Amino acid sequence: MLKELFSIPNLIGYFRVLMLPVFLVNYNRAETAAEFAAAFLLLVVIFLSDALDGYIARKYDMVTNFGKILDPVTDKLVQGTLALAVALRHPRMWVFLVVFLLKEAYMGIMGLYLMRVKKALNGAQWYGKICTAAVDAGVLILLFGPGMPEAASNGILAVMIAVELFSAGMYLKFHIGIIRKKRQTESEEKR
């Protein structure tokens, strides 16, 4: 178990988590172009380390069950930290942050439930991947687009909220289908 916890890909994942508060403090304190550039470089390191841990895990057969949990949790922590960074400078971002946290709480609860009843997860659906890409793009634009007109930033926030709600609704429909199918199978087995 210790070998799994301290595999190189998982150590890189821990590094990513530890870099998040460093990024958040640096970004929140940034006022000059050089300070924003330094915060951006920290973010690049976080993103590159994500690619690196996955590459090492697959290339050197270091994929672990713990890593399968750590990586997506870390991805969501990165997204949440970036959204928080934006919210500290754009007050309307708090609406998105609440929607994001509610959706992720729901996804976490359903993930645990599905692991318990099915013993396996299906992975992200297409609408989840689109949501992640849209939110990442929107957050990055808001993070590093200082001086953007308020109407433009509000439009980006509206799109991000809409995509989160769409994804949440699609996952709800997907999960209801899984639960119904499971109940139907159990009912047929009892006959």
pLDDT confidence band for 43 (50 / 70 / 90): very high
pLDDT confidence band for 15 (50 / 70 / 90): very high
Measured CA to CA, the distance from residue 127 to residue 165 in angstroms comes to 11
Taking all residues of the chain, what is their mean pLDDT, rounded to a whole number? 89
Question: With 0-12 CB in 10 A as exposed, 13-18 as middle and 19+ as buried, what is 139?
Answer: buried
Locate 44 and state its tokens: 């690049």
181 pLDDT exceeds 90?
no
Percent of all residues in the chain with a pLDDT value above 70, rounded to a whole number: 96
145 pLDDT exceeds 90?
no
Contact 43, 23 (CB under 8 A): yes
**Low-confidence winner among 26-35, 85-94, 151-160 (lowest mean pLDDT):** 85-94
* Residues in CB range of 3: below 8 A, 6 or more apart: none
| Predicted pLDDT at 121 | 61
* Residues in CB range of 172: below 8 A, 6 or more apart: 106
| Predicted pLDDT at 123 | 67
119 pLDDT exceeds 60?
no
Task: Determine if the pTM surpasses 0.85.
Answer: no
Using alpha carbons, list the distances in angstroms from residue 152 to 80, 141, 146, 149, 159: 21, 10, 11, 5, 11
Contact 35, 26 (CB under 8 A): yes
